[in-house]
């Protein structure tokens, strides 16, 4: 489509089916320690 | 809910509730903006009027348009408007545009589940060999006395973690301070104990270490490379910036001592599984220069984050600083695109975003886990919801020997999530910050169920830049 290009994105709704296992890292354990960032974290099921 | 913005030449449409990202041309951008609130005829009329003007006509691409030579411009424009409208309608039907927020009940149910502890922040030392001006830990001592964690307390903390982790396999332990390397023997002994225990209980410990680098030597590096899955190396960037805020106790700067050590460790770790991590303040609002400086020193994993400080501190970030900080984030994003094209790319922690994978929606909306899945342990074994609450006894949860005793407080943290915060409900960035930091909220508003407004503005900007970088990457 010349007007709209969709980036390769996971539809969040899909993740309701398989998500919530809780094996992922806690958000403060990576680098931040003073904010809360989850969008950049990895899913352990990947 | 849709969030639209223009950044660095890209028109970006984020469908907030599905997380789908669309890069669109001007015509589609304008049509999407009107789509939900206006009738089709009205949208067509507005578009025809706007895009038939000479200054907008050039924005309509007719190069690959069939029969362009036999049709007049207005005819082509009208067909293209219809083409976009039909595509937008289809996207809505497919669930990639204008999707509804269907998660509130799902998250409330998810939050009710029985939780396990999966991570501890061990305050190995309430003491520090630097005297950083902005330290939230009161120069390492958390407004209390100097204290080092004993092996016995650390061991009890690991036992507490194992006993309260249920079926969770991966357990995380951060060696934090103060400066944890001032108590390195205990760090080593606890890792050894953890490795013994993981075999017995079918667990896997992932240890992390946050250090200011002063005591980082070959022995520590060898140990870290073998046992520590992520090392956070504190440095603010340029020498004058770093040394102003991160002096030693005798007033000398730390830059010259730590830089060669950090470079050596980063190389030993093949430029992975570490961060050089800095803080920017009102005194170095041009922090993009500090990130560039760190990148020029060869570091590939960089995080430079805004200071969180009481308003009265002279180095605190103010509302008036925000426009300049936004410019800096934009400059940094452009710099990263250039560096990527040159084959000299690096990661900036706050611009890392995984669109095709990344966390599930439960993770994204359920909060950071402080007080339930994540707790901090003081040198004498007290439990707090996170490292930033240590020292405020109103937030004492219990201790590693008797476990959590303040159930009411724990429940408050457990229920805190995106939907318990009014400001988050309408925010497009809620899927990327999970409702923000409870400590920041408490420090600015006296409750964990609000949001630190300056932090939110900066977070939104970073999400916009991070998505723009993905759009640029897709184009390369």
pLDDT digits (tens, 9 = 90+) for B31-62: 999 999 999 999 999 999 999 988 887 777 66
Neighbours of B430 (CB within 10 A): 29
Rounded Cα distance, B453 and B464, in Å: 17
Q: What is the pLDDT of residue B235?
A: 97
**B8: pLDDT strictly greater than 80:** yes
User: Does B315 reach chain A within 8 Å, measured CB to CB?
Assistant: no
Q: What is the pLDDT of residues B401-445, one digit of tens each?
A: 999 999 999 999 998 888 888 899 899 999 999 899 999 999 999
**What mean pLDDT comes out for the span B196-201?**
97
Task: List CB contacts (< 8 A) between A34 and chain B.
Answer: 136, 279, 305, 307-308, 388, 437, 440
- Residue B130 near residue B214, CB atoms below 8 Å: yes
- Taking residues B163-180, report their average pLDDT: 95
Higher pLDDT pick, B253 / A40: B253
CA distance B193 to B191: 5
Q: Answer whether A34 sits within 8 Å of B437, measured CB to CB.
A: yes
User: Mind listing the pLDDT tens digit for each residue in B340-352?
Assistant: 999 999 999 999 9
Which of B119, B174, B360 is nearest residue A43 as measured by Cβ atoms?
Answer: B360
Nearest to B361 among A4, A16, A41 (CB): A16
- What pLDDT, on a 0 to 100 scale, did the predictor assign at position B104? 86
pLDDT digits 0-9 by tens, B286-327:
999 999 999 999 999 999 999 988 889 999 999 999 999 999
What whole-number percentage of chain B has pLDDT above 70?
98
Cβ separation A24–B363 shorter than 8 A:
yes
- In this prediction, residue A1 has a pLDDT band, given cuts at 50, 70 and 90, of low
Q: Is the CB of residue B440 less than 8 Å away from at least one CB of chain A? A: yes
pLDDT, residue B233, reads 97
In chain A, at which residue ranges do the beta strands (DSSP E only) sit?
A: 4-6
- Closest-CA distance, A45 to chain B, in angstroms, reads 9
Structure confidence at residue B405 (pLDDT): 97
- pLDDT value at residue B297: 98
The predicted model gives B128-136 an average pLDDT of 91
ipTM field: 0.93
Q: Which of A34, A42, A44 best probes binding to B when mutated, by most B CB atoms within 10 angstroms?
A: A34
The pTM for the full model equals 0.94
Q: Is B175 on the interface with A (CB under 8 A)?
A: no
Paired tokens of B274? 């570490």
Q: What span, in angstroms and rounded, lies between the C-alpha atoms of B127 and B65?
A: 69
pLDDT range class, residue A28, cuts 50, 70, 90: confident
Question: How many CA atoms does the CB half-sphere of B236 hold within 13 Å?
Answer: 28
Distance separating alpha carbons of residues A8 and B357, to the nearest angstrom: 10
Name the region of B152 (left: φ>0; alpha: ψ -120 to 50; beta: rest): alpha
How far does Cα B236 stand from its chain's mean position?
17
Instruction: Tell me if B356 and A8 make a contact (CB, 8 A cut-off).
Output: yes
How far apart are alpha carbons B53 and B301 in whole angstroms?
Answer: 48
- Judged by CB atoms closer than 8 Å, whether chains meet at A6 and B436 is answered as no
What pLDDT, on a 0 to 100 scale, did the predictor assign at position B301? 97
* Inter-chain residue contact B22 with A4, CB threshold 8 Å: yes
> pLDDT class for B29, splitting at 50, 70, 90?
very high
Q: Is B353 on the interface with A (CB under 8 A)?
A: yes
Give the separation between CA A8 and CA B474, rounded to whole angstroms: 9
Ramachandran category for residue B248: left, alpha or beta (phi over 0 → left; psi -120 to 50 → alpha): beta
Query: In chain B, pLDDT over 90 holds for what percent of residues?
Result: 82
Instruction: Report residue B145's pLDDT band, with 50, 70 and 90 as the boundaries.
Output: confident
| Residue B64 scores a pLDDT above 80 | no
DSSP B282: G
Torsion angle of C-alpha atoms B207, B213, B216, B221, degrees rounded to 10: 40
- Contact (CB, 8 A) for B221 and B187: no
Distance, in Å, from the CA atom of B178 to the CA atom of B123, rounded to the nearest integer, reads: 7
Residues of A with CB under 8 A from a CB of B: 1-13, 15-16, 18-20, 22-44, 46
B177-186, B232-241, B280-289, B353-362: segment of lowest average pLDDT: B353-362
Q: Which of B66-80, B201-215, B279-293 has the lowest mean pLDDT?
A: B66-80
């Amino acid at each position: 489509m010349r007007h709209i290009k969709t980036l390769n994105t996971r539809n969040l709704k899909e993740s309701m089916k398989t998500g919530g296992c809780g094996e992922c890292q806690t958000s403060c354990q990576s680098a931040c320690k003073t904010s809360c960032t989850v969008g950049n974290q990895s899913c352990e099921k990947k | 809910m849709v969030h639209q913005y223009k950044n660095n030449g890209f028109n970006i449409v984020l469908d907030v509730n599905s997380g789908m990202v669309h890069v669109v041309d001007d015509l589609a951008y304008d049509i999407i903006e009107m789509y939900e609130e206006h009738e089709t005829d009205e949208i067509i009329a507005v578009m025809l009027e706007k895009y038939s003007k000479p200054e907008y006509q050039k924005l309509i691409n007719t190069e690959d348009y069939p029969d362009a030579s036999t049709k007049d411009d207005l005819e082509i424009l009208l067909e293209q408007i219809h083409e976009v409208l039909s595509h937008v309608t289809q996207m809505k039907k497919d669930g990639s545009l204008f999707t509804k927020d269907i998660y509130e009940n799902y998250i409330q149910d998810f939050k009710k589940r029985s939780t396990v502890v999966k991570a501890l922040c061990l305050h190995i030392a309430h003491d520090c060999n630097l005297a950083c001006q902005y330290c939230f830990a009161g120069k390492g001592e958390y407004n209390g006395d100097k204290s080092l964690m004993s092996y016995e307390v650390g061991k009890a903390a690991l036992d507490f973690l194992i006993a309260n982790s249920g079926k969770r396999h991966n357990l995380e332990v951060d060696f934090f301070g103060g400066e944890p390397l001032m108590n390195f023997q205990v760090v080593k002994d606890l890792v050894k104990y953890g490795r013994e225990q993981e075999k017995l209980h079918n667990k896997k410990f992932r240890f992390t270490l946050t250090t200011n680098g002063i005591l980082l030597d070959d022995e520590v590096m060898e140990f870290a490379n073998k046992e520590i899955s992520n090392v956070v190396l504190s440095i603010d960037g340029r020498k004058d910036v770093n040394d102003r805020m991160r002096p030693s106790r005798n007033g000398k700067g730390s830059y010259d001592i730590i830089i060669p050590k950090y470079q050596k460790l980063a190389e030993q770790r093949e430029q992975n599984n570490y961060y050089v991590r800095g803080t920017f303040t009102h005194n170095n609002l041009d922090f993009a220069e500090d990130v560039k400086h760190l990148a020029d020193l060869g570091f590939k994993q960089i995080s430079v984050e805004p200071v969180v400080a009481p308003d009265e501190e002279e180095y605190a970030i103010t509302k008036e600083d925000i426009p300049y900080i936004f410019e800096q984030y934009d400059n940094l994003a452009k710099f990263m695109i250039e560096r990527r094209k040159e084959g000299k790319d690096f990661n900036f922690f706050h611009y890392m975003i995984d669109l095709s994978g990344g966390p599930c929606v439960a993770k994204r909306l359920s909060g950071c886990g402080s007080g339930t899945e994540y707790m901090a342990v003081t040198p004498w074994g007290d439990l707090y919801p996170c490292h930033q609450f240590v020292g405020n006894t109103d937030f004492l949860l219990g201790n590693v020997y008797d476990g959590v005793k303040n159930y009411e407080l724990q429940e408050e943290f457990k229920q805190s999530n995106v939907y318990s915060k009014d400001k988050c409900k309408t925010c497009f960035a809620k899927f990327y910050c999970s409702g923000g930091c409870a400590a920041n909220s408490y420090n600015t508003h006296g409750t964990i169920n609000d949001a630190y407004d300056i932090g939110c503005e900066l977070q939104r900007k970073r999400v916009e830049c991070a998505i723009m970088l993905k759009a640029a990457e897709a184009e390369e």
